[in-house]
Amino acid sequence: MTSITDTPQNPLPFDARPRRTPGGRVIRWLRANLFASITSSIISVLLIALLAKAFVSLVQWGYWNAIWIVSGNQTGPCRSIRGLGACWAVIPEKYRFILFGTYPFNEQWRPALVCLTFVALFWVSSRRNWWRKELVLVWAAALVLIGILMWGGVFGLSYVSQDRWGGLPVTLILATFGLAFGFPLGIVVALGRRSKLPAIRSLCVLYVELIRGVPLISLLFMASVMFPLFLPDGVNIDKLLRAQIAFILYAGAYLAEVIRGGLQAIPRGQHDAADALGLTYWKKNGLIILPQAIRHVIPPLVNTFIAFFKDTSLVLIIGIFDLLTTAKTSIIDPAWQQFSVEVYVFVGLIYFVFCFAMSRYSRQLEAQSRPG
């Protein structure tokens, strides 16, 4: 210490300058963030030791001892290193099945293109300055294109029936169509729940509470087992479509609650002003109330989208070939049976990329919409 003001014999009455800790920037950062106190230092040391150990064993398992490729179905070398190293060879061997299921092998460029279309569609819809009416047309066009690509049967594409679809496109279809139809349903139900008409209000409350009160898989069981009972003789709806309907009903109930939260945040004066202008109920809500309400709840809406995207994996239980089901099926093959961890890590990464992108986006929107 060189400064005379630091000596205790002659303290200045007031010195608000923070004392500079000695050392370079790195040292100062370390002292502030890792070794600020004794407890903090102990935690840091323990965590660093733990992390180092975890990192070393992970690298050993996932990279150092791992086998990346085997020829044919010769998994002997993989089995000999079981527990010591990963067998990533299962991914190049099975990735086509995991991603596209039993879709005809030579036609798999079509579902691949469908996945790209979906990603492009999500990306376009996430640009805030592109949120206008034309976007609805883009959506309609994209969904038609997806239908053409998946089914085929026109423009020289061979027809592929629905029960051969599988993998990532099925997950994306279930999630996107569930939201695309669940969203308007949610809006109507949310409005109904806030309506002054008792019969309509109680119907909406009944619908939302019934759906939210039970596990999603009981709805899926219902769709797969009970739904055929409720239809007239001879009418047989495809299993995928039945699951899709269950998802739409499910998404509608959850989205309705989020939107209702937004509706509640609209001040009374907005309603009064719209009434004073003599607008009808639908015009008032469509032009004034709903746009504001939805803007209020965009972050929770995106969070609901994430939850919904993950929940589509539950169709595994009723045997629809979504991404998780194809992953689980791909390792039934006895040669590869023991390497499910590697496959689950691969599929987990795909889910993670989609959900993480959405959650980043939601975070960003939240930061933008925060006042000040």
Partner 1 sequence: MTTSTPELPRRRRMRLRLNRQQVNGLIWQIVVVAIAVAIVGWLWSNALHNLSVRRISTGFAFLGREAGMPIADSWLAYSPRDPYVRAFIVGIVNTLRVAVIGIVLATVLGTLIGIARLSSNWLLSRLAAVYVEVLRDVPLLLQLLFWYVLMQGLPAARAAWKPIEGVFLSNRGLVLPSIPIEEANLWVIAAAAAGLSALYLLRRQLVAWQMADGKARPLWPYALALLVGLPALVSFGLGASWTITFPELRGFNFVGGLTLAPEYFALLIALVTYTSAFIAEIVRSGIQAVPRGQWDAANALGLRRSFVLQRIVLPQALRVIIPPMTSQYLNLTKNSSLAVAVGYQDVVSIANTTLNQTGQAIEAIALIMAVFLTISLGISLFMNWYNARIALVER
Binding site for partner 1 (CB under 8 A): 33-34, 36, 40, 43-44, 47-48, 51, 83, 196-200, 203, 210, 213-218, 221-222, 225-226, 228-233, 306, 310-311, 313-314, 316-317, 324, 328, 338, 340-341, 344, 347-348, 351-352, 355-356, 359
**Minimum CB separation from partner 1 for residue 219, in Å?**
9
- Measured from the CB atom, the residue of 293 and 324 that comes closer to partner 1 is 324
- Measured from the CB atom, the residue of 155 and 230 that comes closer to partner 1 is 230
**Minimum CB separation from partner 1 for residue 197, in Å?**
5
**Minimum CB separation from partner 1 for residue 290, in Å?**
19
- Measured from the CB atom, the residue of 145 and 203 that comes closer to partner 1 is 203
**Minimum CB separation from partner 1 for residue 20, in Å?**
19
State the SS3 of the chain. CCCHHHCCCCCCCCCCCCCCCCCCHHHHHHHHHCCCCHHHHHHHHHHHHHHHHHHHHHHHHHHHCCECCCCCCCCHHHHHCCCCCCECCHHHHHHHHHHHCCCCHHHCHHHHHHHHHHHHHHHHHHCHHHCCCHHHHHHHHHHHHHHHHHHCCCCCCCCCCHHHCCEHHHHHHHHHHHHHHHHHHHHHHHHHHCCCCHHHHHHHHHHHHHHHHCCHHHHHHHHHHHHHHHCCCCCCCCHHHHHHHHHHHHHHHHHHHHHHHHHHCCCHHHHHHHHHCCCCHHHHHHHHHHHHHHHHCHHHHHHHHHHHHHHHHHHHHHCCCEHHHHHHHHCCCCCCHHHHHHHHHHHHHHHHHHHHHHHHHHHHHHHHHCCC
**Minimum CB separation from partner 1 for residue 29, in Å?**
8
- Measured from the CB atom, the residue of 222 and 335 that comes closer to partner 1 is 222
- Measured from the CB atom, the residue of 56 and 214 that comes closer to partner 1 is 214
**Minimum CB separation from partner 1 for residue 332, in Å?**
13
**Minimum CB separation from partner 1 for residue 354, in Å?**
8
- Measured from the CB atom, the residue of 232 and 372 that comes closer to partner 1 is 232
- Measured from the CB atom, the residue of 46 and 120 that comes closer to partner 1 is 46
